[in-house]
Structure 1
């Protein structure tokens, strides 16, 4: 393996505890770059390709992973084939790295991956391609209440030092059982239309989210029907007239959903589906992997890329 190490020293855990990759013996590393300017990522990846790197280790949070993999998709033609991706959680939430990265990374685990030893876990996973007129790549796209909740989490939960799945649960708790004014602000209906090959909706919605990850929201199983690892775009939305919201959100914490529960979700305005492509019109904030994208009142096209190969270690 000829690895490239990309390290964001400003990511939360890296800044707090130091970089794991920085302590890997340098004779094992082909190329190292510290990410201090995201606008240079494409140039950095071209340098890694010129050094004939066949794998890219990314140490940082969800925003770092989103930035590096987006840049990789934009310059993928300089790699042949695409490099293997190895993720080290270095942020506060670490949504992607927890599912397909190195669990509790150490220099010894990284060394084992480079040398092809140990209990390696390989995943082939596509990314979302989000076309708003400008093309973005990521793993979790959302509109409505989730962007509103993300902003609340950043301003009021993360600032208290609450991280990861605890931050997600704390945010959901405050929205559902906290102040009525907060709940009304987060769950404000907004215009939304959706078209796939076999599903259409136009009206107002409370929330939508789409992902290629098996479990994109810590602690909640937000897709039902189909298989968790299906190499398809999975999408769930709630209409503005959705009923029994608190009961259904609590129900999403259960992994298995019996047919009766799935029918009740649909009857109460919660729809989940799989597709290869979805066309959305939405007015309001949109978020991809925790990063706010420029608002658009035009068409948003969601599709999926060819699968990338991720290597993880338990």
Structure 2
């Protein structure tokens, strides 16, 4: 069966360099869906899913991957899932950098479709349920400081017309350096009730927190992997308590891969879990996209393992 190519034509990298997939679609008989318009994309995806495509290529950033995977798995039901290949095409490309590919050409597509690809990952997605709303699917969930910084970054980047990204990062680090309190809303602690369930026990926390970060991926780009929970449970989670004032040290330790320092920092915990529940009224993101949360119960569980090939 021919593959399905899903391309975000508005992705920053696609706009700058053109779509790698679009240029080779005809040579492998692939159908193309443009993911730029959500309503049109939803209609076209529903139509293509009637024939159960065996392999889906997604070209776009992390937000595009999140939207495509969410719309796909909401419709899948109990059917066998497709295999996926994620191709960088957006502003942030964390997912493609870890379990996908930065570039792709005809030879690589042919190897992937013929089962000769070198990199195969079998990992679950995060399935996130918020007060009974349809589930969201993705790879990287965060609450607290990281969504606040993400929102701040996007606002400042828009103000600067999308230019001078390094200056925006510098501004964020300066804000982090001021520490908590003193009107620094960027990293203001926020209350959370947290339940973390793993095979051996259940952890319950009710306090102010600076943030959580949770993924099923084996790590992040540049070798960053700020998780050290024990056991084989698929949800990898790190938690920052609200009274931790060493935010810059935490950020730099993670960025510089000094994870031993991060592990020893008071107020930072990491667990591997089977299920996580947050009662939280504050900013959250999934793969960089805001989630609609208002005094909501957020439940996070893994899906069945999904195949990603590059």
TM range (shorter): 0.7 to 0.9
CA RMSD, Structure 1 to Structure 2 (Å)? 2.9
Structure 2 residue aligned with 1:7: 7
Q: Quick check: 1:301 aligned with 2:299?
A: yes
Q: CA deviation at 1:216?
A: 4.4
Q: Does 1:57 align with 2:60?
A: no
* Matched residue, 1:242: 244
Instruction: Indicate how the Cα distance of structure 1 residues 179 and 235 shifts in structure 2: closer, same or farther if over 3 A, else same.
Output: closer
Structure-to-structure mapping, 1:148-167, within 5 angstroms: 148-157=148-157, 159-161=161-163
* TM-score, normalised with respect to structure 1: 0.85
Contact 1:5/1:29 (8 A) holds in 2:
no
In structure 2, the CA distance between the partners of 1:9 and 1:296, relative to structure 1 (3 Å rule), is same
- Aligned residue among 289, 292, 305 for 2:290: 292
Question: What is the aligned partner in structure 2 of residue 215 from structure 1?
Answer: 219
Cα pair distance change 1:271/1:162, threshold 3 Å = farther
Select between 40-49 and 121-130 the one with higher mean Cα deviation. Answer: 40-49
**Native 8 Å contact 1:140 1:288 kept in 2:** yes
Q: Check 1:170–1:100 CA distance in 2 against 1; reply closer, same or farther (3 A cut).
A: farther
TM-superposed deviation, 1:95: 1.2
Counterpart of 1:90 in structure 2 is: 89
Task: Confirm or deny: 8 A CA contact 2:33 2:41 kept in the other structure.
Answer: no
TM-score normalized by the length of structure 2:
0.86
Aligned partner of residue 119 in structure 2, secondary structure: strand
Measured after TM superposition, the shift of residue 210 of structure 1 is: 1.3
Tell me the equivalent position of 1:101: 100
User: Quick one: distance in 2 between partners of 1:124 and 1:45?
Assistant: 23
Query: Which one of 262, 274, 277 corresponds to residue 276 of structure 1?
Result: 274
Do the aligned partners of residues 115 and 142 (structure 1) sit closer, same or farther apart at CA in structure 2, a change above 3 Å counting?
Answer: same
Q: Which residue of 2 aligns with 1:145?
A: 145
Which residue of the partner structure matches residue 225 of structure 1?
A: 229
Where in structure 2 are there 5+ consecutive unaligned residues?
Answer: none
Q: Quick check: 2:122–2:308 contact (8 Å CA) kept in 1?
A: yes
Alpha-carbon shift at residue 138 of structure 1 (Å): 1.2
